[in-house]
Amino acid sequence: MPAESEERAGDGGVETQEQRGASSVATNGDHLVELYKEMVFIRVFEEACSRGFKKGKVGGYMHVYIGQEAIATGFLDAYREGDRIITAYRDHPHVLLLGSDPKAVMAELYGKGTGMVKGKGGSMHLFDVEKGFMGGYGIVGGHIPLGVGMAYALRYEETDHIVQTYLGDGSMSIGYFHEAVNLAGLWGKDGMCPCLFILENNQYGMGTSVERTTAMTDLVRKFDAYGVENEKVDGMDLEAVLEVAHRAAERVRETGKPYAVEALTYRTVPHGAADFLEKYRTKDEINKWRKRDPIGLLEHKLLENGLLDQDAVEEIRNETKQTMSEVTRFAEESDEPPLEELYTDVYAGEDEYMGEK
Amino acid sequence: MPEMTYRQALKTAMAEEMERDESVLLMGEDIGVYGGTHLITDGLIDRFGPKRVIDTPIAEGGFTGAAIGMAMLGLKPIVEMMTWSFSFLASDQIIQTAAKVRYFSGGQVEVPLVVRGPNGGGVQLSAQHTHSMENLYGHFPGLKVVSPVTPADVKGMMLTAIRDPNPVVFLEAGALYGTKGEVPDGDGGVPFGKARVAREGTDVSLISYGRQVNLCLRVADRLEEEDGVSAEVIDVRSIRPLDEDTIVESVKKTHRAVAVQEQWRLFGVASETASIIQEKAFDYLDAPVIRVSGAEVPAPYARNLEVAAFPNEQQVANAARRTLYMEEK
């Protein structure tokens, strides 16, 4: 593995392990092992649904989180009941990490009636409101104002809950980002916007690199323009993410002011399950980032510190794969939604459907 | 029954419901300190405070999206579009999120949102500030769309809109904010999906909504006076859901229909009306249904041009005469 300092040279401003000091493998080893298992789980889930996509069992668009696992895992570790989570369409891990039933998630991808949203949304529109997950959305940037409004509502109701609003680098050029973050900064002046923005910078909006979309590539600084304080973190390093996540979440909870964290990461797989990643980036680049795979980095650390041994690693993987084959089997064997379901949930209230049948 | 203006009726409905329900709040450009571009919300910031009467930056997409987020957590925001023409910037949120999120969440969320503001023309605002949005928003399942014309309906339909658990597009007749009418006291709502027979008649049905209803009423008077024709005027007032029964019943009685809309001719509510009539009352018709619509131009500025761009009495009266095979005047 290359030295960390070398790998971090390009993303200026990321704190080093030494500077952070406080969080260490030794002090929260068991917890790290738990989080490692979660990261493996969401990785194996994404691999399983990718196979489903290739077999034609998952339709439409599907976007997986492979390579980015440390971010959602770290930030959702700071989730407290009553908080709300909202993201775009790369949404499988967020809902899984909140404890939703993976069978319901997989069944949704398979377009089944047992799916999380009854087969009406698919991969891009997972929802589990009871668990605080307010949705995956398909219009880049379109969900950012929703997260800001939800944060306002949480303070309006005088709670101390917060919203974690996840967004990608690709959403930072659209007007929604600027309008929503401006509102957040404004409402935050009165302590009315407990919104934590988590910028998952995987460096590509589909196939277009950040450098090819903006002259101001130090992305998190765009939050400065709207009075929203911010920092960066190495999105491949779970411990680093954890430290920032807990600190930032508490700060937002206490102040009611928004805060933004840019987590630098890399999607080591295509944007959507159907694109050709080597058209817009080199094998060398992909291989370089694969060496900084967040699960690999954590695994190495846990092995080095004796919190896991090779057998335990194997066992975790095997168990997860076994669980996932049950999950996949459930999705495959579930029935398609009944046709009557076409006409439900259009409207709330008595008349769910207003058209002719 | 007290008499009040369209403007006062709107404000009364919102303020009374805000008194009753703390989850109701207002958002929009210049609605607070300034009192609203059209003074609909004048004084409400003093009464309810800035947390409930939120002055927003000029960012329709952003603040409409934020209102949807609030609504998804149980608040009942009423968003003002300074004019519906600006809602093109918010239409992505209204259509792509508000209208659909209940469905694509498998029924897990509700969006009790009202978006309101002046719709249509008549006050020389020219091309970029003059549009009629009923067919655009009326197209999308998941939205409710209403277009009241009397102060009584404005109050009653606003109360219904606020209490509805779905997103409501509330299209006000901006040119009529100063017009007066009797408005009942109390907190009774006017239901959606029920057309109003604004004037009973036997010979021809004039079917419209919004500002054009008043035009149709004037035409009905004129037809009676000049031609001895008894015209029935139907105020559709709810675009989605649309009360097909009242339209069909009227045509079954009169056997003739003219559908009037301020917006452009193709793909409009008048086209929809004509279509419903031919599907459900074909055998009752004694003449083709005629649409009277706006001229196929962006809204012009000059007074005379603007008047000429929208349906006028003579056009509607002549359309009615054509359905009766009478000579045009």
On whether both B211 and B319 belong to a single domain, the answer is yes
Residues contacting residue A236 through CB under 8 Å, at least 6 positions apart:
A70, A264, A265, A266, A292, A293, A294, A297
Residue B95 is assigned to a structural domain of this protein: yes
Residue B328 is assigned to a structural domain of this protein: no
State how far residue A224 is from chain B, nearest Cα, in angstroms. Answer: 18
DSSP state of A314: H
**B72–A150 CB contact, under 8 Å:** yes
Residues paired with B147 in a beta bridge? none
Compute CA B164 distance to the chain's CA centroid, rounded to the nearest angstrom: 16
Whole-number pLDDT of residue A25? 55
On whether both B27 and B150 belong to a single domain, the answer is yes
Contact, B232 vs B243, CB < 8 A?
no
Please state the ipTM of this predicted complex: 0.97
Cβ pairs bridging A and B (under 8 Å):
152
Cβ count within 10 A of residue B189: 18
Which of B22, B29, B73 to mutate to probe the A interface, most A CBs <10 Å? B73
Alpha helices in chain A (DSSP H): 4-8, 17-20, 29-54, 69-76, 92-97, 102-109, 144-156, 175-188, 238-255, 283-290, 294-304, 310-333
Contact, A346 vs B102, CB < 8 A?
yes
Cβ-based contacts of B86 with chain A (< 8 Å): none
Q: Which amino acid is at B266?
A: L
Active-site position among B16, B29, B60, B272: B60
Contact, A179 vs B59, CB < 8 A?
yes
The answer for B 66-95 residues in CB contact with A (under 8 A) is 66-75, 92-93
Cβ-based contacts of B69 with chain A (< 8 Å): 86, 134, 145-153
Cβ-based contacts of B64 with chain A (< 8 Å): 145
Q: Which amino acid is at B242?
A: L
On whether both B171 and B213 belong to a single domain, the answer is no
**B97–A349 CB contact, under 8 Å:** no
Tokens 């993976």 identify what position?
A102
Whole-number pLDDT of residue A277? 76
**B165–A348 CB contact, under 8 Å:** yes
Cβ-based contacts of A161 with chain B (< 8 Å): none
CA atoms of A71 and A201, how far apart (whole Å): 10
Indicate if B129 belongs to the active site: yes
Active-site position among B129, B244, B249, B306: B129
Write the pLDDT tens digit of every residue in A186-210. 999 999 999 999 999 999 999 999 9
| Residue A114: exposure state from Cβ atoms within 10 A (0-12, 13-18, ≥19) | buried
**How high is the mean pLDDT of chain B?**
97
Residue A173: both structure tokens together: 């050029």
Using CB atoms, which residue from B73, B101, B240 is nearest to A154? B73
Residue A204 three-state SS: strand
The answer for B 139-158 residues in CB contact with A (under 8 A) is 141-142, 144
Q: Which amino acid is at B44?
A: L
CA atoms of A227 and A235, how far apart (whole Å): 23
On whether both B170 and B202 belong to a single domain, the answer is no
**A134–B109 CB contact, under 8 Å:** yes
Residue B188 is assigned to a structural domain of this protein: no
Angle, alpha carbons A64-A123-A222 (nearest 5°): 60
Whole-number pLDDT of residue A5? 39
Using CB atoms, which residue from B107, B112, B141 is nearest to A344? B107
The residue among B155, B182, B209 that closes a domain is B182
Write the pLDDT tens digit of every residue in B56-75. 999 999 999 999 999 999 99
Residue B329 is assigned to a structural domain of this protein: no
Q: What are phi and psi of A342, to 5 degrees?
A: -55, -35
Task: Tell me which residue of A174, A257, A181 sits closest to A225, measured CA to CA.
Answer: A181
Residue B273 is assigned to a structural domain of this protein: yes
Whole-number pLDDT of residue A24? 53
Q: Are strands A195-201 and A259-264 parallel, antiparallel or unpaired?
A: parallel
Using CB atoms, which residue from B57, B59, B105 is nearest to A127? B105
Residues paired with A260 in a beta bridge? A197, A230
Query: What CATH number does the domain containing B76 carry?
Result: 3.40.50.970
Query: What CATH number does the domain containing B273 carry?
Result: 3.40.50.920
On whether both B173 and B48 belong to a single domain, the answer is yes
Q: Which amino acid is at B30?
A: D
Q: Which domains does chain A have, with CATH numbers?
A: 4-334 (3.40.50.970)
Whole-number pLDDT of residue A274? 67
| Residue B43: exposure state from Cβ atoms within 10 A (0-12, 13-18, ≥19) | middle
Which of A91, A108, A228, A345 to mutate to probe the B interface, most B CBs <10 Å? A345
Cβ-based contacts of A258 with chain B (< 8 Å): none
Write the pLDDT tens digit of every residue in B118-177. 999 999 999 999 999 999 999 999 999 999 999 999 999 999 999 999 999 999 999 999
On whether both B156 and B208 belong to a single domain, the answer is no
Instruction: Give the strands of the sheet with A230-234, arranged side by side.
Output: A133-136, A84-87, A163-168, A195-201, A259-264, A230-234
On whether both B90 and B219 belong to a single domain, the answer is no
Residue B191 is assigned to a structural domain of this protein: no
On whether both B169 and B147 belong to a single domain, the answer is yes
The residue among B112, B147, B182 that closes a domain is B182
Residues contacting residue A281 through CB under 8 Å, at least 6 positions apart:
A204, A209
Residue B189 is assigned to a structural domain of this protein: no
Contact, A227 vs A59, CB < 8 A?
no
Whole-number pLDDT of residue A9? 37
On whether both B178 and B238 belong to a single domain, the answer is no
For chain B, which ranges sit under pLDDT 70?
none
Q: What is the number of alpha carbons within 13 Å of residue A339 lying toward its C-beta?
A: 1
Whole-number pLDDT of residue B203? 98
Cβ-based contacts of A115 with chain B (< 8 Å): 106
Whole-number pLDDT of residue A1? 35
Residue B31 is assigned to a structural domain of this protein: yes
Write the pLDDT tens digit of every residue in A219-236. 999 999 999 999 999 999
What domain count does chain B have? Answer: 2
Q: What is the CA radius of gyration of chain A?
A: 20
Q: Are strands B114-119 and B180-182 parallel, antiparallel or unpaired?
A: unpaired
Q: Are strands B257-260 and B231-235 parallel, antiparallel or unpaired?
A: unpaired
Residue A283 three-state SS: helix
**A135–B105 CB contact, under 8 Å:** yes
Rounded mean pLDDT of A35-49?
98
Q: Which domain holds residue B67?
A: 3-182
On whether both B315 and B275 belong to a single domain, the answer is yes
The residue among B126, B158, B182 that closes a domain is B182
